[in-house]
Structure 1
Amino acid sequence: MDATMNDAPGPKSTSNGTTPVNSKGWDGKLRVERKAVVTNAEILSDPEYSDEDAPPVEQISADEDLLEDYELDTDDIDLVHCRISSIPALHLERFTKVEKLCLRQNQISHIQFPPDFGSTLREVDLYDNLVSHIKGLDPLVHLTSLDLSFNKIKHIKNVDHLKELTDIYFVQNKIQKIEGLDGLNRLRNLELAANRIRDIENLDSLTGLEELWLGKNKITELKNISHLSSLKILSVQSNRLPQISGLSNLPNLEELYISHNALTEISGLDNNINLRVLDISNNQIQHLTNLESLGHLEELWASSNLISSFEEVERELADKKELNTVYFEMNPLQLKSPALYRNKIRLALPQIQQIDATFVRVS
C-alpha cells in the first residue's frame, strides 16, 4: 500500500465518536432534531378541510364574457355547467334587474357578489359547486329561494338575516346540526336530506313550515316538530327510526315518507286524518294496523315488508274509498303467488287504479 496514503492526516475525532470533516464539527449533514409540529391537525383527518378565514384563491380572469348575449335589463341569468370558478369575473353589477340567478354545476368555492348587486334578486341557485362556507349573502335581503345543495357545507350560518326566504335547499352536504334558522318566519320548505343530522332540533321559530325533508340522515327519533302545525309534507326516509311517533299535533299532514327505516308496525297516526300519501316501504312491518282514521288515504306504498295476508289487505283498506294506488311488491303475499298477486289485490280492493307500477283500471 502506498505510504503516502497511510501517512495522510485524517479528520479529527471528537469526544462523542463522530468524525467531522472540519474543525467546527460539521460532517455535511444538518444536525437538527427531526420533529414536525402540526398546527392544523384537522387537515389530516379531513381531506376536504378548508379554512374559512383564509384569503380566497387568486382567480384567473375569464377570456370570454359568458353574459355578453344577455340584455342588461334581463331578470333571469342561467349559466349551468360553464366551468365558472369566480363569481366576480362575471361582472354581475351591470345587471340591475336580475330576479333569478342559476349557476348550477360549476366550480365555485366562494360566494362573492358585487356590493351593489342583489336588490332585485329573489332566487339564487348554486347547486353542485364547491362551496364549503355560507358567506357573501348579506346584501341579498329580498331572497326568497336559496339552493346550495350538493356542496361541501358543514354548518348552516349567515342566512338568518334573509327574512323573506320561503325555500331553502341544502341537500347532500356535510351538515351535522340543524341551526342558524331562527327568525325565518316565512320559510315554507326546508330540504336537508342526505346530510349527517342526528337530531331534529332548533325549528321552534319556523311555525309556517309546510315541507320538511330530512331523508338519508342519522335520525333515531321523531321529536321537536309538534309545534309545526302547518306541516303538510314530512320526509324522513333512510334514517334509523324504530317507530312512528311525535306526529299527533300535526293535523294538516298530508304526505309522510318514512321508508327504509327500522319500523315493525304502523302506529302514531290516529290524529293525522288528512294523510293522503303514506310510504312505509322497506321496513319490517307485518300487519296493516292502525289505519282506521286515515279516511282520505290515496296512496299506500308498502313494498319490501313482511305483509302476507290478502284478507288483512281487504279488511284494513277496502273502506278507503279515495285509495287509488297501492304498492305491495316484495312482500310475502306477492312473492308466494306472483302470478295471482295482482288479481287478488284487485278483488280485495276494487277501487284501486294502480298496483305497484301497473295501471289496472282507467278512471
Structure 2
Amino acid sequence: MDHSVIRKMRSPGEVYSSELQGCCDCSQRKTLWYVFDRELVLPEYLIDFEYVTQERSQSSCPPKAPAAPDDVTPGCNDEQALDEQVLSLQPVPKPRPKLLSLDESSVLTAARANVLSQITVLNLHGNSLSRLKEISRLTALRQLIISFNALTHLDDVSHLPNLECVDASFNQIVTLEGVRGLPRLRELDLRWNQLSRVREETSVLRKHTPSLLRLHARHNPWSQGESVRMVVLGQLKNLTHLDGVLVTEEEVAAATHVNSTSKINLMLLLSHSRTDADRPRCLSLLTVAQLLTHLKPSPWKHTTDLEPGWGAKVTALNLDGQRLSHISNLEQLVNLRWASFNNNQLTHIEGLQHCPLLEELSLNHNYICTLEGACKLQRLTRLSINSNQLRCLDASVLDRLTNLHFLSAEDNCISSLQGVQRSRSLFELYVSNNNISTSRDIYHLKTLSNLIILDLYGNPLTRTLENYRAYLIFHLPSLKALDGTAVEMSECENAKDVFGGRLTADMLAEKLGQCDYREMEELELPGCSVRTVDLAPAELFVNLHSLNLERNNLTSFSGLVYLPNVKVLCLNYNHIESILPRQKTHTHLSSRQQLYQKVHSSGYGQQISKSSSKECVCVESLEPLMCSLEVLHLGYNGISNLSDVQLSCLSGLRALFLQGNEIVQVEGLDGLSLLRELVLDQNRVKTLSEKWFSSHTRLIELSLNDNRLRSLTHLQLTHLQRLHLSNNKLQDITELDKLEVLTSLVELSVVGNPVARRSLHRPSVVLRLPQLQVLDGITVTLEERTRAELLCTEDTPSCVDGAFPVVLCRAPPARNSE
C-alpha cells in the first residue's frame, strides 16, 4: 500500500503534509556525528509520525477541526506533561577517569589492543596528558588524536615512520622544536594552541615532515598576524590545503617571492656602508647608520677599485629591509661602529662577533626572541630591538654590556623586568607595549642609579596599578621623564606623601631578598621609617608569628590588623595613637598630634579601595581584631589617653607592655579579660580606680614602677602573683597593709619609695603577707619570717591589729644566689 508521511509537531492540531518537505530547512541527507559523551545527547524537541493511507486521504470525510485547548482530554494532558518533563532533562554525564600519564597498559587499553606493534589508530582525546612517553614505541601507528590535553611540546611525537595524521588541537603547545622523523605525515592539526613564531615552527615542519599536505594552524597567537599564510606557504611549498582552504599556484608563487631571503654579499656591503669617522651633528630620530647612508653617497664606485683592507674603513652599515634571515660575511668590518638591520627576517643575533667596536645596533621589526649573541659587544652603548619576540631581558647578556646607556625593547612580549638590573650604566629604557603587569618589576630598576628616562606606556601595569605615576616617581627618584612626560618637582613631593614609609610585600622583597613569604615566621624591621603597613594579600603571611617594627613612624596599626596569625607584635618607639585610624577634629590638638595629623596611615588596602570607610572607625563599634595576638609592646609611644588607643578590641592579649608613655588613667582595657601581664612602668599614674582592673580576673603580674602612686586603694586582684611598685611616692606603711587582699601575691617590689627607706618595711610586709616569697628582689626566708613574728609579739600585743612599730634593727643580709 502506498503511503505518504505526515510530520506532526507536539502542538495539538498542527499538521504538516509531505508537500511542505521540499521547502523545509532540514536536510534528508545522512550525516555522521561523533559523540564523545552520550549522556550529553538529550531531546531538544519531539516529533510524532503518523502514517495516513491514500484511501483515508481521498475519503469524502472532511478533516477534523483542531480541538480547542479546553477540550483536551486528560490523557493528552498527561502526555504533554510527560513530554515537558523529557524536554527539561539536564545532562548528567558519568565521570570518566582521565589519564594523567601514559604507560604500556593504558595505551593498550585506550587502543583496545593486545600488542603495541599492532596499534594503528590511537585516540587520547580529552585527557590531562602533558607527556606521551610510550608513543615512540608504536611503530605501526598511522593516526593519532591527542586533542584537548595539556601538551606544551610534541617532542614525544617523533620517529614514527608510518604516522600519517595527527590531531593536536586544543592544547598549550608553544613550540614544535623536538619533532623529528615523521616522513609520512600528511595531515597536522595545530589549532587553538600557543604557537607564536611562525618561521621557526614552519622550518621544523619543512625539515622533518616532507610529505605534509594539510595543515591547520588557526587560532594561535602568531606574531605576524595577517602574513602568516604567506609565511607558511613560502616555507611549506608542498601544502595542498592550509586551514581548510585549497592552496592555489598563484598563492605559492606570491609566497615564494615574499619569503625569498637574500644574503649579505659584497655588492650589498658596498652600496649600504659608509666610512665616516664621526657621527653626524644633527638632531634626528634615525640611527647613525641610517643618517649616514641618507646624507652621503657610498664611497665605493666599482668593485674593481677596492684596495686591500677596504673593510677596515667601514664604520657604518645600513641593511634595513633587505629580507635577511642571517647576519654573516662581516669578518672584514673590524672597525664597524654603527649598524642597522631593521625590517628583516632575523631570528637570532649572530655574525657580529667580528665587530668588537660596535657602539650602536638597531634590530627593529625582526623575529628575534633572545639577546644571546650580543654579549661580546662590550662597547655597545645603544641597542634597539623593538617589535621582535623577546619574552625576557637576559641578565647574563646585559651584565656583559657594561657600557650600554640606551636600551629600547618596545612592542615585544616581555613579562618581567628581571635582568635589567644588571645593566648598571643604563640612562634610557624604553619597554612600552609589553606584558609587564606587577609592581614588583619596578624594584628591578631601583639599582639603576643613572636611569633618567623610562617608558612603560601600554603595559598592563600602567592600567592596574593605582597611582602608577606617583609610585614610579617615588621608587625611582632619579627619573627626569616617564612615559614621554617630564617629571615635575610637585610630582616628586606628592609621591613622597602618598608612598613614603609604606611597608609592602615589594618592599620586603627588596630588603630581605626573598619572595616566599609563606615560610616566614619572624620579621625584624626596626628603624626603617615605616609609616603605613600594606602587606597584601595577607594570606601570604599566614605563618608570620612575630613582628618587630620598633623605632618607626606608625601612628596606628593600619594593615597589621589583617595579618592572620601574628602572636607577638613589637611597636615600641612609634607614635601609636589608636589601633585603627579615626577621624579627628582639628581643635585642641597637641603639638605632637598636629605633626602626625598630616601623616596618612590608612594602611592596608590603600591602593585597592578608594573608600575611606577604614579610616573613620568608631571605637564603640569595633569588633575583636587580631584574635591571635598574645603579646603587644607599645612602650614609648607618647600615649596619654589609653581609651583612644582602642586596645579593648584585642581580646586575645595575654601580655601588654605600655612603659614609657604619659598615661594617667588606666582605662579602655575592659575587653582584655585574658590579660595575665600588664606593664605600666614610667607613666604618670597617681591613684588607682576601682573600675580599672575589675575585668582582669586572670591578671597575675602587674608592674607600676616609676609612676607617682601615693595610695594602693582599690587594688582588688585576688589572682595577682607579682606586683612591682618601685620608685613611686608611697610614704605610709599602712598603704602596704592594703595588700593583704592579694592572697596569691608571691613577689613584691617597693624599692625606691619613701616607705622602703633603710628596709624598715620588711618585717611588717613579711608578717602581713604570709604567702610572699620575694620582697624587693630578695627571697623571704623562714628565718626572716620567724624574726618578724617575734618582733611583733615582743614589742606590742596590738601590732597585729594596728600599724607595725618601727623596728630599729638591721635587715637580714641578702641571701647569696648560690
Q: TM-score, normalised by structure 2?
A: 0.27
**Structure 1 stretches of 5 or more lacking a match?**
1-51, 59-130
8 Å contact kept, 1:210–1:230: yes
Q: 1:343 to 1:151 in 2, by over 3 A?
A: farther
8 Å contact kept, 2:747–2:774: yes
8 Å contact kept, 1:153–1:173: yes
Return the match for 1:322 from 733, 744, 749. Answer: 744
Q: 1:330 to 1:182 in 2, by over 3 A?
A: closer
8 Å contact kept, 1:200–1:222: no
CA drift at 1:184: 1.5
1:291 counterpart letter in structure 2: L
Alignment of 1:45-56 (within 5 A): 55-56=446-447
Alignment of 1:31-110 (within 5 A): 55-56=446-447
Return the match for 1:153 from 520, 530, 555. Answer: 530
Q: 1:206 to 1:225 in 2, by over 3 A?
A: same
Distance 1:156 1:141 in 2: 18
2:519 counterpart letter in structure 1: H
Distance 1:331 1:162 in 2: 47
Structure 2 counterpart of 1:69 = none
Structure 2 counterpart of 1:109 = none
Distance 2:734 2:445 in 1: 66
* 1:46-79, Cα deviation, whole Å (9 max, x unpaired): xxxxxx9982387xxxxxxxxxxxxxxxxxxxxx
Structure 2 counterpart of 1:310 = 733
Q: Does 1:258 pair with 2:637?
A: no
Structure 2 counterpart of 1:206 = 626
2:736 counterpart letter in structure 1: V
Alignment of 1:156-305 (within 5 A): 156-158=533-535, 160=538, 161-201=540-580, 205-223=625-643, 224-267=646-689, 268-292=692-716, 294-305=717-728
CA drift at 1:152: 4.1
8 Å contact kept, 1:303–1:328: yes
8 Å contact kept, 1:283–1:304: yes
8 Å contact kept, 1:299–1:325: yes
* 1:251-303, Cα deviation, whole Å (9 max, x unpaired): 111000011111111231011011000011111111112222x1110111111
Structure 1 counterpart of 2:519 = 142
Distance 1:53 1:280 in 2: 50
Q: 1:56 to 1:326 in 2, by over 3 A?
A: farther
SS in 2 for 1:146: strand
* 1:84-131, Cα deviation, whole Å (9 max, x unpaired): xxxxxxxxxxxxxxxxxxxxxxxxxxxxxxxxxxxxxxxxxxxxxxx9
Distance 2:711 2:561 in 1: 41
Distance 1:54 1:156 in 2: 23
Structure 1 counterpart of 2:778 = 358
Q: Does 1:344 pair with 2:764?
A: yes
8 Å contact kept, 2:625–2:651: no
1:55 counterpart letter in structure 2: K
**Structure 2 stretches of 5 or more lacking a match?**
1-442, 450-500, 510-514, 582-621, 786-818
8 Å contact kept, 1:234–1:255: yes
Distance 2:641 2:676 in 1: 20
SS in 2 for 1:141: helix
CA drift at 1:206: 1.0
* 1:172-229, Cα deviation, whole Å (9 max, x unpaired): 3333332222421222211101223233436963122211110111112223122222
Distance 2:720 2:671 in 1: 18
SS in 2 for 1:156: strand
Distance 1:229 1:205 in 2: 7
How many positions carry a matched residue from both structures?
Answer: 236
Q: Which has the larger radius of gyration?
A: 2
SS in 2 for 1:234: strand
**After the TM superposition, which segments of 4 or more aligned residues of structure 1 sit over 4 Å from their partners?**
131-134
1:350 counterpart letter in structure 2: P
1:275 counterpart letter in structure 2: L
8 Å contact kept, 2:526–2:548: yes
SS in 1 for 2:735: helix
SS in 1 for 2:727: coil
8 Å contact kept, 2:682–2:706: yes
CA drift at 1:320: 2.3
Q: 1:344 to 1:186 in 2, by over 3 A?
A: same
8 Å contact kept, 1:199–1:221: no
Q: 1:185 to 1:343 in 2, by over 3 A?
A: same
1:301 counterpart letter in structure 2: H
Give identity over the alignment, percent.
27
SS in 1 for 2:723: strand
2:727 counterpart letter in structure 1: S
Distance 1:54 1:278 in 2: 51
8 Å contact kept, 2:503–2:535: no
Distance 1:339 1:278 in 2: 22
8 Å contact kept, 1:199–1:219: no
SS in 1 for 2:647: coil
Distance 2:718 2:648 in 1: 22
